[in-house]
Amino acid sequence: MKRIPHFIGGSAADSTADKVLAVMNPATGEQTASVPVATPEEIESAVSAARNAFPAWSETTPIKRARIMFRFRELLEANQETLARLITSEHGKVLSDAMGEVTRGLEVVEYVTGIPHILTGLASENVGTGVDSYGLRYPLGVCAGISPFNFPAMVPMWMFPVAIACGNTFILKPSEKTPSAALYIAELLAQAGLPAGVFNVVHGDKSCVDQLLDHPDVKAVSFVGSTPVAEYIYARASGNGKRVQALGGAKNHMVIMPGADIDEAADALMGAAYGSAGERCMAVSVAVAVGDQVADTLVAALKSRIKDLKIGPGIQADADMGPLISRQHRDKVTSYVGIGQSEGADLVVDGRSGFGDETQSGYFLGPSLFDGVSDGMRILNEEIFGPVLGIVRRSSLDEALDLINAHEYGNGAVIYTPDGEEARRFTREVAAGMVGVNVPIPVPVAYHSFGGWKRSLFGDHHMHGAEGVRFYTRLKTISTRWPKSRSAASQYAMPTLE
């Protein structure tokens, strides 16, 4: 059985750990590899490698850092399908979705190839008599990233390209369920010429995460995952004086207004709700239909499309949806279908049976569709993270906004409407960090920033784009004076620079 190594100090590093975790193929239910739970000494080795690499890397000119990232970008593009196949084999998502994931991560790498321009400081001349001021951004030091199972390439590439391009060194702790993509990325970075120790990968569980959160040499922590874990990481790491961005859970809503193209909205919902088996933090799990006519038409359109959805192994060319990540998670999502029924929602399509080959040993579950979802139901309030979509009926945009804004999460929200006034009002009033107008999944492009509001984000900075650069750097403002002659006497009042 293959045992996946760490990547420390510029090369693969076999672990001496006794504790290992199984890496499964969700499409078959078979174990394909094992991954070690790093020992405290191995975590310390990774931190030491990153700490030792930091002085030279932080002094490397931004243009040299950019050239390395550009070579990494070229290698990523050349090896995109190989990386995508690794993702599919461990996550289960269909290959086209995995290819798209790599593309979205690659866009962040493209963004940071412009780091010399991005880090250009601001300067003001003669702010006082003979005094000039300018601001520069400096790297923090050793940074750590803790990434989720559902995007084993894209989410890490929201983190480390920005951190590294800004002059930091980095330690990635990927999900133990999907570890191989991180190792492959580390190898590509080494091929691109990244110095040893600048990027490291360690595998493990909560004990390994805690060691990184507590380590005095780790200056910043980035995380994407569930809200309870995000809150824990934020509290523990910030309590240790670290800078933290911790992205949590979501319950994303799509509002469909009267006058919207229902066929267009239904097509959008199919991908937004059931793509990647619903295992996306930006998946739309609640559709808010404004008016019964909109709701009835939408339900009929979705029901007919669900019948044509093809479920199978992600590597299968015609598959629209693959398996869920694990047997335990499939059972959890399945239980929510039963919960929705017991709460009184109308189960229009039951994904627990009638989809694909039910003799398959993988972790497959068909798409479920509920109508008549009402306030207080768990399927409305809780993040399911699977292929379950609920239809909520409201009579006005006011009521739709009240529903969304009352929720504890504020990750993404979307409206489908032909009315510019409705769209403008929605974008201004909805309490969510990422908003779409006639766009099903409003994930920002790399030069904008990703992050939610409320309990979807702990910390002050969103990921990648300008916010990512601010997170991975700190500002130093410098004021200079070159007097022609020495001042006549000491001054004890606050300088006014007049």
Task: In the chain, list all ranges with CATH 3.40.605.10.
Answer: 2-248+456-478
Task: In the chain, list all ranges with CATH 3.40.309.10.
Answer: 252-437
- As assigned by CATH, the class of the 252-437 domain is alpha beta
Q: Minimum mean pLDDT among 173-187, 259-273, 350-364: which range? A: 350-364
Give the percent of the chain with pLDDT over 70: 98
Q: Tens digit of pLDDT for each residue in 314-339?
A: 999 999 999 999 999 999 999 999 99
Q: Tens digit of pLDDT for each residue in 256-276?
A: 999 999 999 999 999 999 999
Regarding the domain with residue range 2-248+456-478, which homologous superfamily does it belong to in the CATH classification?
Aldehyde Dehydrogenase; Chain A, domain 1 (3.40.605.10)
- Asked if 247 and 224 count as a contact pair (C-beta separation under 8 A), the reply is yes
The crossing angle, in degrees rounded to 10, of helices 397-405 and 420-429 is 20
- Cα separation, 453 vs 450, in Å, equals 11
pLDDT for 397 beyond 60: yes
Q: Tens digit of pLDDT for each residue in 418-463?
A: 999 999 999 999 999 999 999 999 999 999 999 999 999 999 999 9
Q: Tens digit of pLDDT for each residue in 42-61?
A: 999 999 999 999 999 999 99
357 pLDDT tier (thresholds 50, 70, 90): low
Backbone torsions φ then ψ of 156, nearest 5 degrees:
-55, -35
pTM for the whole structure: 0.95
Annotation marks residue 166 as catalytic: no
pLDDT for 399 beyond 70: yes
Position 494 scores a pLDDT of: 77
Contacts of 391 (CB under 8 A, 6+ apart): 287, 289, 295, 298, 299, 369, 370, 371, 372, 373
Backbone torsions φ then ψ of 431, nearest 5 degrees:
-90, 75
166 pLDDT tier (thresholds 50, 70, 90): very high
Token pair for residue 418? Answer: 């032909």
Q: Tens digit of pLDDT for each residue in 194-232?
A: 999 999 999 999 999 999 999 999 999 999 999 999 999
Q: Tens digit of pLDDT for each residue in 58-104?
A: 999 999 999 999 999 999 999 999 999 999 999 999 999 999 999 99
Tokens 């306030």: give the residue. Answer: 375
Within 10 angstroms of residue 23's Cβ, the number of other Cβ atoms is: 22
- Cα separation, 337 vs 192, in Å, equals 47
Task: Name the catalytic one among 143, 166, 208, 281.
Answer: 281
pLDDT for 359 beyond 60: no
Contacts of 361 (CB under 8 A, 6+ apart): 28, 29, 30
pLDDT for 123 beyond 60: yes
| SS3 per-residue string spanning the chain | CEECCEEECCEEECCCCCCEEEEEECCCCEEEEEEECCCHHHHHHHHHHHHHHHHHHHHCCHHHHHHHHHHHHHHHHHCHHHHHHHHHHHHCCCHHHHHHHHHHHHHHHHHHCCHHHHCCCEEEEEEECCEEEEEEEEECCEEEEECCCCCCCHHHHHHHHHHHHCCCEEEEECCCCCCHHHHHHHHHHHHCCCCCCCEEECCCCHHHHHHHHHCCCEEEEEEECCHHHHHHHHHHHHHCCCEEEEECCCCEEEEECCCCCHHHHHHHHHHHHHHHHHCCCCCEEEEEEECHHHHHHHHHHHHHHHHCCCECCCCCCCCCECCCCCHHHHHHHHHHHHHHHHCCCEEEECCCCCCCCCCCCCCCCCCEEEECCCCCCHHHHCCCCCCEEEEEEECCHHHHHHHHHCCCEECEEEEECCCHHHHHHHHHHCCCCEEEECCCCCCCCCCCCECCEECCEECCCCECHHHHHHHCEEEEEEEEECCCCCCCCCCCCCCCCC
Mean pLDDT of the chain: 96
Tokens 């994930």: give the residue. Answer: 443
Of 487 and 50, the structure prediction assigns the larger pLDDT to 50
